[in-house]
Amino acid sequence: FYAVINKCFCLFIMTGGELTMLLPPLGKKKHITEAIVKCFEVMNANNSSPYYSRIDYVQGSMLEEFLQNSDEAESMFEMLESYVIEKKLVDYIYEVNALIELRGNSYHTKRTEINKFVKSYSGYVIERLDSVKHKDEIVNLFNKWVSDRIKYMPKEEAEVFLEGIHQERHAIKHMLKYYEELSLIGIVIYINGELKGFTVGERINKNMATVIIEKTDFEILGCAQFIFREFSKMLKEHYGVEYVNVGDDMGFENLRKVKMSYRPFKLVPKYTIYQK
């Protein structure tokens, strides 16, 4: 749920009966410090212990903005005496041109995988995602993706993975329901008449877009690499995007390796605020 606190938009999430914040308060700088304090009061009033209260996905740029104004900086630092800022995961940001061209030895494997895919599945068809036309096929592919993913995952990782699947499935259904209203951008790929992959993102400013979700059939080798490059092409050709943010690796080592293999242009850290 959300609330407007001290003229800031504040987004909360309830997990296992405990309240946390998915994002820091959004509003003018002069209102954020007090909003943070009040948000912790809201969380602490609900939670079984202050230990569970936290604000996730705080960008370093938000903290840096306070340093530009001495009064706001002093207020912020006084407030933070009661809190701990912990560096968490990083967002992976790439240059779109690099993802399209895949030049150099570091991208040799990617080029090979794409070339094999094109030779093996020359009849592929790329379409712009239509939330009505493709809805059922996307949900079916997601269910298959979950089943295939678990087969190759260590038991410990699988348990953590499954905890988030219900939320991701729910998010996909809502994404498709409000696709047009959210101005989302997506493509799907068909092979022999079956939907075997989809990618959805959005343009977040003039020069940058983000990938919200991408799924492909594990049995179609090279499909993930191919659709990622095709999506990058569309972002450049139709939207003039120069950079793409593909989010974090959720702490999974295999996902970290995949995202690092694309040689990110920049890693942007995210922080979590706890109470001491």
pTM of the model: 0.84
Question: Angle, to 10 degrees, between the axis of helix 108-120 and the axis of helix 223-239?
Answer: 100
Q: Which CATH architecture has domain 91-268?
A: 3-Layer(aba) Sandwich (3.40)
SS3 95: strand
Calpha distance 14→28 (Å, rounded): 26
Interacting residues of 115 by C-beta distance below 8 A, sequence separation 6+: 222
Beta bridge pairs of residue 275: 83
Cβ atoms within 10 Å, residue 102: 18
Q: Which residue has the higher pLDDT, 20 or 30?
A: 20
Task: Read off the pLDDT of each residue in 59-69 and give the average, rounded to a whole number.
Answer: 67
Answer whether residue 188 shows pLDDT above 70.
Answer: yes
Going from N- to C-terminal start, the domains of the chain cover: 2-81, 91-268
What tokens appear for 77 in the block? Answer: 């630092």
Q: For the chain, how long is the longest CA-to-CA vector? A: 63
Lowest pLDDT segment from 107-116, 162-171, 187-196, 239-248: 162-171
Answer whether residue 261 shows pLDDT above 80.
Answer: yes
